[in-house]
Structure 1
C-alpha cells in the first residue's frame, strides 16, 4: 500500500507538478489567490479600532466548535471577532460600531479637513491608475526587447491589482465627498455609474 502511494506521488511530481512549475503555474496560482484576497478587501469592513486595516480571515484559519472563524485586522492592531466566514456576517457584526464611529468622525471634520481627505484619497487613486497604465507598457517594451515571456506576463498581471486599488481609493474619496457611508449597494452603484473613472464626479 505504501509502495503505491509513493509511486503515485512520484508520478504526480513527474507528470503534473514538474511541468506546471516550468510554465510558472505556482506563481500564477499564488497571484490568483493574492488578487482574490485583494478584491475582497474592497468590500470587507474596515477595522473599527485602528481604521488602518480591513477585517479578514486567514486562508488557513480553522473554525471553532460553533463553526465561527476568527476575523482579524490586516494592520495587526490586535482587534478581532468571531463570526461566520462570509462577508455578510462580519458586516452585520461590525456595521453598527463602524457606522457610528465613521459618521461621528465625518461630522466632526471641518470642510477644509474633508477637502484635504478627498484630495488625499484622489491622489492615491490616480497614482495607482498611473501604475496600472505603466504595467502593460513596460510589459510590451520588455517583450519587444527580447525579455522573458514569464517576466512580461508577471509585469502585465500587476495591472489588475493596481486597478483594484485605484478603484478602492476613488470610492473612498466619493464616500467622503457625498457622505455615503455604509449604504448597502453603494459600491455597486458607484461602479455602474462609472464614478471610478478619473474625472467623473457626477
Structure 2
C-alpha cells in the first residue's frame, strides 16, 4: 500500500495547478476553467487556460477591452433586471467601471459606459453617483440627450430642482419631442425666476 500512498500526491505536485489537485476539491475555483472563475486563485499563472486568456486580453486594445466590459455589463444588467437581482446590478456597475478605468481614447465607448452606469445607479437609488456619471457623460458628449435626462432625473431626486430644470432645458434643446424629458418637465412644473 505504500506505493499507492506515494503515487497519489505525485500528480498533484506535477499537475501545474490544473487537473488532479483541483479535482479533489470541487469548491476550489481552480478546478474550473479560468473563464468561469469568480475569484482569482493564489497562483493563476500556473493555469494554462488562464495564461491563454491573458494572452488574448493583452492583444486587445484598451478600446476593445472597454467595449468588452460594456457588453459584459449590459449582460449583467439584462439578467439582473429579469431576475430582480440587485447583486447582478452592482456587478454591472463594477464592469462598467472596469471599462472606464482602461482609459479608452474612444469617447463614444466612455459615454456609453458612463450612461449605462448612471442608469444602473439610478435603478439602485444611488442618485448622487447617477448624477456624477451622467454629468461626466455630458461633459464628454454634450449632445447626449440620454445623459441630460439621467442627470436631470438624478438632480431632481436629490432635490436640486434648479439644476434639474437646467438639464431638462438643455436636453429639450437637443430633442424637443423627448417624452422622458417632457414628462420630467411636467413634474418639475414651470420655471420660476428663482430657479
Q: Same fold per TM (> 0.5)?
A: no
Question: How high is the TM-score relative to the length of structure 2?
Answer: 0.28
Q: Which is strand-richer, 1 or 2?
A: 1
Instruction: Give the structure-1-normalised TM-score.
Output: 0.28
Please say which structure displays the higher CA radius of gyration.
Answer: 2
